[in-house]
Amino acid sequence: MKKLLVIPALASLFVACQGEKGPAATFDDLKVQVKMAAIGGRNITWAADDMVYFSDDASTKPGFQFKASAGDISADGKTLSATYKSASPSTKVIYAFHAPMGRIRMKKTETITVDYDGTLGGAAMPAGSAAKGAVLTLSPTVGVGEFSLGRGYVEKVRISSSKAVFPKTLTYDFGGAGLNITKTTDLIEVTTSGNGPFYIPLVPGSETVTFDVDFMNEDGQTVAAGNFSGTIAAAAGTLTSLGKLDTDAIDILDPSVEEFEPATQAIKNMGVGVNLSGSFEVLWKEYAAQADRSNPTFYERQNGCGPTAQATMDSFATAGFKSVRIPITWWMHMDDVYTANTIDKVWLDRIEEVVNYCQKANLYCIINMHHDAHAHEAQGGQWIFADIKNYDKISKAYKEIWQQIAARFKDYDQRLLFEGYNEITDAAGTWTFPRDANDINAANKLNQDFVNTVRKTGGKNSTRNLVVSSYSCSVSDKPLNAFEMPSDLRPGHLILQVHNYAPTSFCGFSSADHETFGTEQDYTDIQNAMSTMKRLIVNKGYPCVLGEYGAPSEHMAKVQQPNGTWRIKIPAEERAKHAYYYTLEVLKLGICPIFWYTPQEGNHRTKGTWTYPEIKDALIKAWNDYQALQ
């Protein structure tokens, strides 16, 4: 027989509902019923039919039902004395179960700690009709916020706060300290039914807090979103009204929002595209130290490119290209991506200016987060990783930055697409697949975060076509099999992106071994890539853009050259042969190809004249020949 102390004051952790006419709150999932009143001091009333369950293990299966009686309360009103016969003489830890709060672990009688699991449902906080006519019994430690809704189809409300104002861990100390909040959280979920009122626990205080609210359907999809701010003047044991949360919420399914063309049509209309590389994705840290952040064109000049002009986009459109991908690195244009991550206004202004060049030239345009997610140079500032251990930290910053970008461009038409991240890797920079297979889940979750964040900004973003990527944008079995297309309330508006530089023996900057295209192995390598894309992308029904491909104007040689260099120049006509063949094969799959327009070719930015017209002509010829096949 073991002596176990259970705290009647522990009931002050729970909002109990005891109405004269209304029903009492019940906790059915673990068949635990707790009804307490007069919380606020040490005089606790424990009703004769109150129950709690004990068990020897951490499972949710109740072990022993204890039915209290008034005589089980000690004279000082602090403790409930109970006896429990363990199933094993060696038992060292006993568990008590209370449904809303989950498991209470008891090893010593000096303290008892209760951890919230991050969710609070109608059982813990009386919801809908269960709250009518009820009298709330409030905790002497925790305040309560009350809110209502006006959306009957909402099944759950997720509230995230700018400060950790929700209690997470509460500890009762028998040594005299009493009940204390020892951990807090900035996220809480409430299961809802009807319009309310609903209740959430709040840490006592008086400070201005901002809240972001997601209103979700039964499938967990955000159907509306809003935000509000207020002073949480919740003293311990008081009820604070938070008002009607959805007054200014954006309805993502608003039927008045124009429905953009589906992704399948967009990739057809995007034809053949080019990357505006070497301009906005500059990443080296020494540039960040040198740069005047008030002069955004500084970054455009660092790869030998002049500032992008309207003439640049006009030259693309006149040549016959239909789309432009603009790689953009953001981390150097804010103070700290994880904390002070407000994007410099001048940088956003400059990006918008270039997007407007595309719009005026009637080009589709993709903007992304580029070397934020994969820095090719050791001195880069990569901060977006497929890292499940640090997912919460990365996700928070990622969503906040995309919220700013999406809000700036929410009124642009369907010719503007957003791309979530470029070539994400794990924290070790592992290519093709992360070292820890669990990290692939972080890549998928960040794709979902991107879609949810953009949709929540409303306007035309609620139906905009969005581009998500496989791990490292790889065209290989393992990452493509692990890729999960995000869920979306607007079906048919998501596009998968991959990159491929086949054959690497010709296209690889550091692995190439010949400068003329057309060996038997070259064609075999390309066809192998096509086969993989057909099997794991096309056959799965994913609309797709090949966001990068092509051969550089020079690559690192494996053998030192006669002139003393370790580089091999690739003739433009050989690159053109490759560009034509590869582009036509991709188009035959129904995938939109976007050629990587390398920095060495970037000196026509301002004037719009072509450095390598042979390659331009080869790409457009592939498009025209493909059109003739249709």
State the Cα–Cα distance between residues 594 and 592, nearest whole angstrom: 7
- Residue 549 DSSP code: -
Who has greater pLDDT, 609 or 160? Answer: 160
DSSP SS3 for 160: strand
Q: Bridge partners of 555?
A: 568
> What pLDDT was estimated at residue 385?
94
**Do 179 and 44 form a contact (C-beta atoms < 8 A)?**
no
**Do 325 and 370 form a contact (C-beta atoms < 8 A)?**
no
Confidence class for position 287, pLDDT limits 50, 70, 90: low
DSSP SS3 for 256: coil
Q: Within 13 Å, how many C-alpha atoms sit on residue 83's CB side? A: 2
> What pLDDT was estimated at residue 209?
86
pLDDT averaged over the chain? 76
Q: How many residues does the chain have?
A: 630
**Do 387 and 439 form a contact (C-beta atoms < 8 A)?**
yes
Determine the number of helices (DSSP H) and then strands (DSSP E) in the chain: 12, 32
> What pLDDT was estimated at residue 24?
25
Given a cut of 70, whether residue 513 has pLDDT beyond it is yes
Who has greater pLDDT, 269 or 603? Answer: 269
Write the single-letter amino acid at 103. Answer: R
> What pLDDT was estimated at residue 228?
83
Catalytic residue, chosen from 548, 574, 585, 601, is 548
Q: In which order are the strands placed within the sheet that holds 250-251?
A: 119-120, 187-191, 156-161, 208-216, 222-231, 250-251
**Percent of the chain at pLDDT above 90?**
42
- For 200, phi then psi, to 5°, come to -135, 145
Given a cut of 80, whether residue 116 has pLDDT beyond it is no
Between the alpha carbon of residue 20 and those of residues 125, 304, 398, 523, the distances in Å are 18, 78, 49, 81
618 CB-near residues (< 8 Å, 6+ apart): 576, 577, 579, 580, 583
> What pLDDT was estimated at residue 99?
32
Q: Which helix (H) or strand (E) holds 442?
A: helix 439-456
Given a cut of 80, whether residue 309 has pLDDT beyond it is yes
State the Cα–Cα distance between residues 234 and 548, nearest whole angstrom: 54
> What pLDDT was estimated at residue 201?
77
State the Cα–Cα distance between residues 443 and 218, nearest whole angstrom: 25
- Mean pLDDT on 376-404: 88
> What pLDDT was estimated at residue 206?
73
Q: Catalytic site residue 423?
A: yes
Task: Give 464-508 pLDDT, tens digit per residue.
Answer: 999 999 999 999 999 999 999 999 988 999 999 999 999 998 988
Residue carrying structure tokens 């029903």: 23
Confidence class for position 22, pLDDT limits 50, 70, 90: very low
**Percent of the chain at pLDDT above 70?**
69
> What pLDDT was estimated at residue 150?
82
DSSP assignment of 347-360 equals HHHHHHHHHHHHHH
Least confident piece of the model among 78-92, 447-461, 552-566, 598-612: 78-92
Confidence class for position 51, pLDDT limits 50, 70, 90: very low
State the Cα–Cα distance between residues 126 and 407, nearest whole angstrom: 36
Given a cut of 70, whether residue 570 has pLDDT beyond it is yes
> What pLDDT was estimated at residue 356?
98
Given a cut of 60, whether residue 100 has pLDDT beyond it is no
Q: Is the pTM of this model over 0.85?
A: no
405 closest CA partner among 466, 491, 469? 466
> What pLDDT was estimated at residue 121?
31
Q: Catalytic site residue 20?
A: no
Catalytic residue, chosen from 281, 300, 423, 601, is 423
DSSP SS3 for 9: helix
Given a cut of 60, whether residue 79 has pLDDT beyond it is no
Least confident piece of the model among 103-107, 174-178, 413-417, 626-630: 103-107
For residue 197, whether the previous peptide bond is cis, meaning omega lies within 30 degrees of 0, is: yes
Given a cut of 60, whether residue 351 has pLDDT beyond it is yes
Who has greater pLDDT, 408 or 230? Answer: 408
> What pLDDT was estimated at residue 13?
32
Q: Which helix (H) or strand (E) holds 477?
A: helix 477-482
**To 10 degrees, what angle do helices 613-629 and 572-588 make?**
20
How far the first Cα of the chain sits from its last, in Å, is 83
Between the alpha carbon of residue 57 and those of residues 80, 100, 233, the distances in Å are 21, 19, 40
State the Cα–Cα distance between residues 256 and 266, nearest whole angstrom: 21
State the Cα–Cα distance between residues 232 and 205, nearest whole angstrom: 6
- Domains contained in the chain, CATH given: 2-251 (no CATH), 263-629 (3.20.20.80)
State the Cα–Cα distance between residues 287 and 375, nearest whole angstrom: 14
Q: Bridge partners of 567?
A: 556
> What pLDDT was estimated at residue 558?
57
Task: Give 118-130 pLDDT, tens digit per residue.
Answer: 333 322 333 222 3
**Do 497 and 469 form a contact (C-beta atoms < 8 A)?**
yes
124 closest CA partner among 214, 59, 27, 194? 27
For residue 503, whether the previous peptide bond is cis, meaning omega lies within 30 degrees of 0, is: yes
DSSP SS3 for 422: coil
Given a cut of 90, whether residue 366 has pLDDT beyond it is yes
> What pLDDT was estimated at residue 509?
72
> What pLDDT was estimated at residue 444?
97
- Mean pLDDT on 267-272: 98
